[in-house]
Amino acid sequence: MAEKNFQGWLRRWLSSRDWSERMNALFLIEDLQMKAMLLEMERLYRSDRVTRGEEEKLLTIFARFDYSPVVTYVLEPKYELTEFAYRVIFGHMSERLLRQVEQRFDELTRAGKCAFVDMIGIRRREERSFLLELLASDESELRVRALKAMAEIGMPLEAERLKQHLCSSHWQERLMAARLAGKCREERLLPLLYERLSDRSFVVRSEAAAAIARLPGGRTALRAAARTASDRYARDMARQWLGGGE
């Protein structure tokens, strides 16, 4: 019904010089799922008058409509897209489109790469080999996002691999490595996490204690830390996670 009755005036709105009319048309097209308007939206996207806000809305609609050219548009946007904008667009993409973006991951901007890795965790996509590759990246931010995604999915990582991230010079990387260690639930990770109870960052100490508490033998390790750890911060953090009653 929408396609039969609304296309005429929606076309007029999309070609209007009034920005608000064009945006209102885009919101209606999205809400009514009017895929028949793709050609008109394509014209608007390719025009010189398209604004930053319109581009973001158009790319979101293209993603929702599973429109293949959106992959190229995301890789080569007219305006610089924010990480939030990328996350919204990727959040509406089908697995088919996400696979295409993944194949051209290196062409994304830094914000696009971070948003894409976040989306792996948000959508619980099983991308072990891809995430493992990112853990070897020279960019600490990508390593952090990969560890975060693995923690959200519950994807285990062997102790030897986790060790290098738990000892990173970047506190965000140590934080996410500790979070992932808690999801792995392997007792052999206890010594590595025990060291992080003395971390110079409070949030890392707290995450390490939380991870230890989840591991087999973890509460015993926390009791030992509360009594005998040489670092005052480690003792305090252990007591905090023991609830002060042990």
Neighbours of 230 (CB within 10 A): 8
pTM of the model: 0.85
Position 245 scores a pLDDT of: 44
Contacting residues for 24 by C-beta, under 8 A, at least 6 apart: 13
Q: What angle, 0 to 180 degrees and rounded to 10, lies between the N-to-C axes of helices 128-135 and 140-153?
A: 150
Task: Summarize pLDDT for 195-229 with one digit per residue, the tens.
Answer: 898 999 999 999 999 999 888 888 888 998 898 88
Residue pair 45/55 in contact (Cβ under 8 Å)? The answer is yes
Task: Summarize pLDDT for 22-60 with one digit per residue, the tens.
Answer: 999 999 999 888 888 899 999 999 999 999 999 999 999
Residue pair 196/226 in contact (Cβ under 8 Å)? The answer is no
Structure tokens at 57: 């809305």
Q: What angle, 0 to 180 degrees and rounded to 10, lies between the N-to-C axes of helices 218-228 and 232-242?
A: 140
Question: 126: buried, middle or exposed (CB in 10 Å: 19+, 13-18, 0-12)?
Answer: exposed
pLDDT category at 3 given cuts 50, 70, 90 is low
Structure tokens at 170: 């970047």
Residue pair 173/139 in contact (Cβ under 8 Å)? The answer is no
